[in-house]
């Protein structure tokens, strides 16, 4: 890729002239996106774990859930920056409802719920709050 290619793509020549080096990168694969979600010291999974822990709720990211989120980001062409949007969309209801779910509740992300956009929150009393997309919240006593 040469500077004229960037100008043809739509970047301003003044900006292209200030770029000392231009490199091409391959898109991250779903497994690499899953690692971005869980491995860094300040990973997105750890940030959300801390956010929910402040409300007395535990985030459980089951095996395969991070890969399912990585697959969704790759399928949409969002890359690593899209992980936050997907994670937020999955946990939006849980973040607002978990504070009232009682102490020692947990939000469980499985591979299946990441593919189906369903998240469950289990309160301490044994009932399960099911967060179904943007629809109504239903309380199930048996799980």
| 67 closest CA partner among 14, 131, 115, 101 | 115
| pLDDT tens figures, 99-135 | 766 555 777 888 887 777 655 544 444 444 444 333 3
Could you read off the pLDDT of 18-52 as tens digits, one per residue?
Answer: 888 888 888 899 999 999 999 999 999 999 889 88
CA-to-CA distance for 21 and 75, rounded, in angstroms?
29
Q: How confident is the model at residue 92 (pLDDT cuts 50, 70, 90)?
A: confident
Q: What are the structural domain ranges in the chain?
A: 26-140
| Domain 26-140: assigned CATH number | 1.10.8.60
Confidence class for position 61, pLDDT limits 50, 70, 90: confident
Return the higher-pLDDT residue of 10 and 22.
Answer: 10
């Amino acid at each position: 890729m040469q500077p004229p290619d960037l100008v043809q793509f739509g970047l301003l020549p003044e900006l292209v002239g200030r770029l000392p080096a231009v490199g091409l990168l391959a898109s991250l694969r779903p497994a690499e996106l899953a690692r971005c979600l869980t491995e860094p010291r300040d990973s997105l999974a750890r940030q959300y774990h801390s956010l929910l822990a402040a409300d007395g709720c535990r985030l459980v990211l089951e095996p395969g859930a991070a890969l399912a989120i990585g697959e969704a980001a790759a399928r949409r062409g969002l890359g690593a920056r899209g992980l936050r949007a997907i994670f937020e969309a999955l946990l939006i209801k849980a973040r607002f409802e978990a504070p009232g779910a009682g102490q020692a509740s947990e939000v469980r992300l499985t591979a299946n719920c990441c593919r189906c956009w369903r998240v469950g929150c289990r309160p301490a009393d044994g009932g399960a709050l099911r967060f179904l997309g943007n629809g109504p919240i239903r309380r199930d006593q048996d799980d």
